[in-house]
Structure 1
Amino acid sequence: MATAHARRAETAPILIEDAASALRPVPLVIDLDGTLLRTDLLLEGIIALLRRNPLMLLVMLLWLPRGRAFFKRRIAEGAVLDVATLPANAALLAHIETQKAAGQEIVLATAADELMALRALRRFPVFDRVVASDGVRNLKGETKAAQLRALYPQGFDYAGDAAADLPVWAAARRVIVVGASGPVLRAARRLDKPVDEFPAASRPRALLKALRLHQWAKNALVFVPLVLGGRAGDAQAWGSAGLAFLALGLVASASYLLNDLLDLSHDRAHWSKRERPLASGRLPIATGLAAIVLGLAGGLAVAAWAGAAVLTGVIAYLALTLTYSAWLKRVPMLDALTLGSLFSLRIAVGVAAVAVAWSPWLLTFSMFLFTSLSFAKRHTELRGAARRGQPGTIAGRGYEPADEPVVLAFGIASGLASVVIFILYLANEAFRHAALAAPLALWSFPLILVLFMGRVWLLAGRDALHDDPVAFAVRDRPSLVLAGVAGLAFAVAAFGLPPGLLPQGFGL
């Protein structure tokens, strides 16, 4: 229920025509985008059209000169949206239903196109009337205020969320502010009218979650070639690798946001992904788009600063990520292999950053290791779908519940293959690097890998693994302990043990 902040009672009396109208409450008018729905139908429609055919962007550019109302109508005609899964403001909807039961007329007044509004009406039959843009007139701001004054001269209550709603609130009897920003809320309060507030979740917090900063842990792979290539004592090499790490992190976070935008409809149909910031509406689509642009621009700029080779590697990473988001993630088996390849690309960027020799063994090892983790993610999704009795293909993916045994077999096989490849790397290449102080310490890695992969797949079989194994690993205490031991072994391999720590005559 709303938290009421009544500034003061009205000072001007409401004119009434007769005693019957005096007893009738004024209409409750509700905005749609960002108010009843925690999303923007125009942006949803644009994304739906671009997901179906990216070349529609050129057609949209031809629609824009004909006006915003025309543009909205064409988007509404072409976009296919599952209105039933769009995120709604449950608290506001409960308030609306209460007012409806009390006899108040409920009106939907939106700048969205009428076709979109009528689709929403089928989901929310509580409305008595719809007023919307019609392909000629864009019902927003002053235009909406004038229309509502003409329809309801006796007054109305209005629920909105944005600065464009300020003229409508100025014309309304009561102001209902839903999920607005601080400046908009303060401007609404200055209207000196009764104000009800429905606060929104923290957008900065939602943005941080959507950026998935914990996934930056994957980018630590750029430092692996630095250590194994014998440049662990080179401060300049660490600086170059650090720039590569930052560039990949910015580009990866922007890519996650873009993937979430393209996957909105599938995420909303998923049991856990529907709580993602963009899918749940806690992060506005416009904010997500701005973060994508800034992330890509910043990441590519940092990569260019790190050098042409790093920039080439980051662009290759971005291209493969976009291809995965647009197509490859829907191709069974190839999707997991692509994710594994993205990890190998991180190591390749690290090689380019610090200018050491390429290691085919190391690149192949990383691809198989992370392909196994990708299969673990798919295995978890398939187990979850089977547990919930979902038939058919998994939403947004090419897998069916019957594929679970095959995914399990390929996942475990890929994990064991990565261990074998790492052993071959130790036997054929690692000890040729004279710059490594104590290469024998690297022999602890096969055991660490077996323990880690065993834990991942054991928990996957128990349905105790999160959808994302990396997110699981950074929160799982045994996995963190194994990571600490691996880091210690890595440090010993690069720098050796302090003098005097081992008995004389004994060395690694």
Structure 2
Amino acid sequence: MATQRLQRSGMAPSPIPAAATLRAAPLVIDLDGTLLRTDLLLEGVIALLRRNPLMLLAMLLWLPRGRAFFKRRIAEGAGLDVATLPANEALLAHIEARKAAGQEIVLATAADELMALRALRRFPVFDRAVASDGVRNLKGAAKAAQLQALYPQGFDYAGDAAADLPVWAAARRVIVVGASPAVLRAARRLGKPVEEFPAASRPRALFKALRPHQWAKNALVFLPLVLGGRAGEAQAWGSAFMAFLALGLVASASYLLNDLLDLSHDRAHWSKRERPLASGRLSIATGLVALVVGFIGGLAVAACAGTAVLTGVLAYLTLTLTYSAWLKRVPMLDALTLGSLFTLRIAVGVAAVAVAWSPWLLTFSMFLFTSLSFAKRHTELRGAARRGQAGTIAGRGYQPADEAVVLAFGVAAGLSSVVIFMLYLANEAFHHAALAEPLALWSFPLILVLFMGRVWLLAGRDALHDDPVAFAIKDRASLALAGVAGLAFAAAAFGLPPGLVPQGFGP
């Protein structure tokens, strides 16, 4: 039996004598979603797939042999470090207080006993543990029966899910940890004393994980609409908006996938460990459902916008997945990939509104956003150096010593984008009949220099958010520059008011 194996391992003591257990009912704690703000089985599956995606085939062969067998194989292969997983600190403090008062503390989990052993090493507060053993899945009614046999005098139980209702029904006291409102109502209907440890807002955590502020990047799809002279056409705006929505849904789903693949690295990062999935405020199951919905929804909207838009969005998705799985760990190439993803947004906009391709515009975009990507890496390297970190940064291919090289490439790419835009103005914009007043675009190189200068100046002062886009949409100076740029584009598309155009200057 799982309990006997745990006791033989030395990680759990022998059963408590009956005379001692009569004095106070033990406090029994679930592990997944209760003491730990995550699910060990899903964590293990993700760890295995991140290491080798072909393990999915092996998992499909394990499943028919039962859930307990599946858990055992995942526990053996994943090598999951339980010590790094997010814990419910409020519940842990409560457990330690009950332990200090003399109450027996028991871990009862449906996770495999190999995982339970790792949990016992991290949390020495437990007196014993019961867990799944590769043959029997200790969940729901099976867990309730096991605990009733061990503690016929009664026990208190802390759990989090509907599967814990049979255990709460057999318990003396009910402790509900981070459960949904429906589970909490069902637990209260049992008519027993209920203690609650509420969870953080799930909708708020999901909203943050989707990174809606990053949708600002997708506004690039409207750029070809303006520069292509179709700003006055309602149909073109509708097509561009569908492309914007499709990219937004796919991008949000991609962020979730990236966070799931990066869980262990994010938890080792000074700021990324607070992300909803890494911190456990958003469950892995919810994240998986949301990313599937996002991918399907985004591709469906893209298909409605036309074959060209769907092709562009599929190219964006393919490059995003390749980045998440591999390219983000390749120095220099990672920044170029991010620059390419920005440029693909413009390409999708071109396809959506069916205007002529501009090599100048696409090249400009590539250099500008590669520079911003290097700014992000430069900030991460500065942070690592400040904390005295040596060696390769977790999840990246960079080392703190690479800071100077990243700075040089980033500033060079930013200034190159300004030069390319000026060449576009000189060689194409004034010959573009679709623009009402291309002269207005000459304000843009100055705006770019001011913005790029501010980004890199603050990066050098350690005052830049590790995501330049998140910084830009909150920074007043950057927002003011964006407003001026918007006015310039509007003037280029619709023309300047009479009397403001200099005579003899223009096309």
Aligned to 2:427: 428
Residue ranges of structure 1 left out of the alignment (5+ in a row): 1-16
The separation in 2 between residues aligned to 1:349 and 1:210, in whole angstroms, is 24
Instruction: Return closer, same or farther for 1:21/1:324 CA change in 2, 3 Å cut-off.
Output: closer
Q: Which amino acid aligns with 1:108?
A: L
Q: Which amino acid aligns with 1:202?
A: S
Aligned to 1:201: 200
Instruction: Return closer, same or farther for 1:18/1:133 CA change in 2, 3 Å cut-off.
Output: closer
1:110-259 pair list within 5 angstroms: 110-259=109-258
Shift of 1:504: 9.3
TM-score when normalising by structure 2: 0.95
Instruction: Return closer, same or farther for 1:193/1:445 CA change in 2, 3 Å cut-off.
Output: same
The separation in 2 between residues aligned to 1:18 and 1:347, in whole angstroms, is 72
Provide the secondary structure at the position in 1 that maps to 2:37.
coil
Aligned to 2:500: 502
The separation in 1 between residues aligned to 2:291 and 2:20, in whole angstroms, is 55
The separation in 2 between residues aligned to 1:190 and 1:364, in whole angstroms, is 64
1:320-359 pair list within 5 angstroms: 320-359=319-358
Shift of 1:277: 0.2
Of the structure 1 ranges 80-89 and 208-217, higher mean CA displacement relative to structure 2 is found in 80-89
The separation in 2 between residues aligned to 1:124 and 1:337, in whole angstroms, is 44
Provide the secondary structure at the position in 1 that maps to 2:103.
coil
The separation in 2 between residues aligned to 1:456 and 1:502, in whole angstroms, is 32
Aligned to 2:442: 443
Aligned to 2:3: none
Shift of 1:502: 3.2
Q: Are 1:452 and 2:451 matched, yes or no? A: yes
The separation in 1 between residues aligned to 2:123 and 2:55, in whole angstroms, is 30
The separation in 1 between residues aligned to 2:132 and 2:125, in whole angstroms, is 20
Instruction: Return closer, same or farther for 1:284/1:443 CA change in 2, 3 Å cut-off.
Output: same
The separation in 2 between residues aligned to 1:20 and 1:137, in whole angstroms, is 29
1:168-223 per-residue CA deviation (whole Å, 9 max, x = no partner) reads 00000000000000000011011111111000000000000000000000000000
The separation in 1 between residues aligned to 2:415 and 2:116, in whole angstroms, is 54
Aligned to 2:318: 319
The separation in 2 between residues aligned to 1:244 and 1:43, in whole angstroms, is 33
Shift of 1:82: 2.1
Provide the secondary structure at the position in 2 that maps to 1:475.
coil
The separation in 2 between residues aligned to 1:116 and 1:491, in whole angstroms, is 60
1:314-354 per-residue CA deviation (whole Å, 9 max, x = no partner) reads 00000000000000000000000000000000000000001
Residue ranges of structure 2 left out of the alignment (5+ in a row): 1-16
The separation in 2 between residues aligned to 1:208 and 1:501, in whole angstroms, is 47
Provide the secondary structure at the position in 2 that maps to 1:467.
coil
Shift of 1:497: 2.1
Instruction: Return closer, same or farther for 1:346/1:503 CA change in 2, 3 Å cut-off.
Output: closer
Instruction: Return closer, same or farther for 1:168/1:423 CA change in 2, 3 Å cut-off.
Output: same
Aligned to 1:375: 374
Shift of 1:505: 5.3
Instruction: Return closer, same or farther for 1:20/1:52 CA change in 2, 3 Å cut-off.
Output: closer
Shift of 1:507: 7.4
Aligned to 2:282: 283
The separation in 2 between residues aligned to 1:91 and 1:225, in whole angstroms, is 52
The separation in 2 between residues aligned to 1:57 and 1:117, in whole angstroms, is 24
TM-score when normalising by structure 1: 0.95
The separation in 1 between residues aligned to 2:397 and 2:351, in whole angstroms, is 35
The separation in 2 between residues aligned to 1:58 and 1:244, in whole angstroms, is 35
Q: Which amino acid aligns with 1:297?
A: I
Aligned to 2:10: none
Provide the secondary structure at the position in 2 that maps to 1:196.
strand
1:443-497 per-residue CA deviation (whole Å, 9 max, x = no partner) reads 0010000000000000000000000000000000000000000000000000012
Runs of 4+ in 1 over 3 A off after TM superposition: 17-22, 500-508
The separation in 2 between residues aligned to 1:84 and 1:195, in whole angstroms, is 30
Q: Are 1:470 and 2:477 matched, yes or no? A: no
Instruction: Return closer, same or farther for 1:503/1:337 CA change in 2, 3 Å cut-off.
Output: closer
The separation in 2 between residues aligned to 1:431 and 1:179, in whole angstroms, is 61
Q: Which amino acid aligns with 1:308?
A: T
Provide the secondary structure at the position in 2 that maps to 1:204.
helix
Aligned to 1:4: none
Shift of 1:144: 0.3
